[in-house]
Amino acid sequence: MNTLGKNALATSLQTYFTTFARTQRDLSAHTIASYRDTWRMLLKHLTATLGIPADVLDFDAVTAANVIGFLDHLEDARGNGARTRNARLTAIRSVLARALPDHPEHAATITQVLAIPPKRTVRKVIEFLTADEVDALLAAPDPTNWTGRRDHALLAMTVQTGLRVSEICSLTRHDLHLGTGPYVACTGKGRRQRITPLTRTTASTMTTYLAERATRPGTSLFCGPHGRPLSRDALEHRLAKHLATATTTCPSLATKHVTMHTLRHTAAMNLLTAGVDVSVIALWLGHADTHSTDAYLHADMAIKQAAIDRTRPPDVQPGTYKPESDILTWLTSL
C-alpha cells in the first residue's frame, strides 16, 4: 500500500478512500470520485493560500475558516452554484466525521468544520415537455439508419419510464423484459432496485429495436458502434442533435433548456396529470421519499388552477377571469 505521508490527515484520507468508502460504506464509484476530487481541490487551495506543501498539510490546516474560504473560492473563482458548494461541503464533512473518533486531539478543529451549515438554495421550477414537444422530439431521429432507430428507442423509453441518465447508461439487454407485463429493471441511486412497466407503445418500439440490437456485439442495451455502452456525454450530445431538428417543427422547444433529466421530469409530470398519486410517482422514479416528488406539484399549473376553482364562491363561474368586452356596459353594471 502506498503511503500518502506520515501526518494524521494523510493517513485518514488513505484509510477513508481505500477501506471505509469501498468496503464499509460501499459508496458508488461516482460518489468516491466526487469526494476524491473535492479533497484534491481543497488541498491545492490550502497549499496556495497557506504556502504549505500538500504532503505537510494536517488537520490543523483544515479549520472552519479555511474550509469556508475554500467554499467561497468555489463560488467566486470557479463560478460554482450553491448546490455544488453544498456537495463539496458534504464530501469534506464525510471524511472528517470518519476521522474524528481516531483523532480526538483534533476534535475541536474537526467539530467546527462539521458544524458549518450548508448554504440555502433556491429550488427552480421543474421544466418538462408538452405532448406536442415530445412527439416532435421522438420524430426527430432518422429512421433510415441504425443510429436514428437506436436514438428513437432510447428517447421513447426514457420519456416513458423516467429513468435517470446513469440508469439508462448501465442497462443491458437482459434488463429488458418484453413478455407478458413488459418492464425494465434497473439498479438506481442508493442501490435501490426497481422495476418500471412499459406501455404497449414503448414495448413495441423496444421489441423492434431489440431484434436489431441482437445482431451487434456487447450486452449494453444502448450501445455505440462497437457494442460499448453510451456515456452520459454521448446521450446529451445525441439529445442536443435531435432537439435542433425537432425545434424546426416545434418552435417552443427553443425556449426550454432540455437535458436528459428533463425527460425524467416529463415522465413524472405525465403520471401526475394522469391522476397518479405522488407516493406512487416517488416509487416509480426511485425516490427515497416523496419530498423530492413534491416539486412536481409546484410545476403543474393545471393542479393549482383546479385548486382555485374548488375554492371559488358559489356564484362565480370557474376558470380564469376575463374582462367584459364592452367596458362601458361593465362600468354601468357596477
- Residue 331: its pLDDT value, please? 75
- Residue 27: its pLDDT value, please? 83
Quick check: helix, strand or coil at residue 187? strand
Q: What is the DSSP letter of 229?
A: B
| Residue numbers of the domain that contains 269 | 131-306
Q: Write out pLDDT tens, residues 174-232.
A: 999 998 899 999 887 767 788 899 999 999 999 999 999 988 999 999 998 888 999 98
pTM, two decimals, is 0.67
Is 79 among the domain residues?
Answer: yes
**Hey, which residues does 197 pair with through a beta bridge?**
183
Is 315 among the domain residues?
Answer: no
The total of structural domains in the chain comes to 2
264 is catalytic: yes
Place of cell 407503445: 201
Q: Write out pLDDT tens, residues 60-95.
A: 999 999 999 999 999 999 999 998 999 999 999 999
Q: Are residues 135 and 255 in the same domain?
A: yes
Q: Are residues 158 and 302 in the same domain?
A: yes
**Hey, which residues does 25 pair with through a beta bridge?**
none
Q: Write out pLDDT tens, residues 121-160.
A: 776 778 899 999 999 999 999 999 999 999 999 999 999 9
- Residue 94: its pLDDT value, please? 95
Say which of 177, 194, 232, 261 is annotated catalytic: 261
The count of other CB atoms within 10 Å of the CB of residue 228 is 12
189 is catalytic: yes
Is 332 among the domain residues?
Answer: no
296 is catalytic: yes
Say which of 93, 189, 232, 241 is annotated catalytic: 189
- Residue 49: its pLDDT value, please? 95
Is 192 among the domain residues?
Answer: yes
Say which of 88, 106, 150, 264 is annotated catalytic: 264
The CATH number of the domain holding residue 212 is 1.10.443.10
Q: Are residues 71 and 196 in the same domain?
A: no
Is pLDDT larger for residue 288 or for residue 58?
58
Within 8 A by CB and 6+ apart from 11, the residues are: 4, 5
Q: Are residues 173 and 26 in the same domain?
A: no
Q: Write out pLDDT tens, residues 28-57.
A: 888 899 999 999 999 999 999 999 998 899
- Residue 2: its pLDDT value, please? 44
321 is catalytic: no
Say which of 45, 106, 164, 238 is annotated catalytic: 164
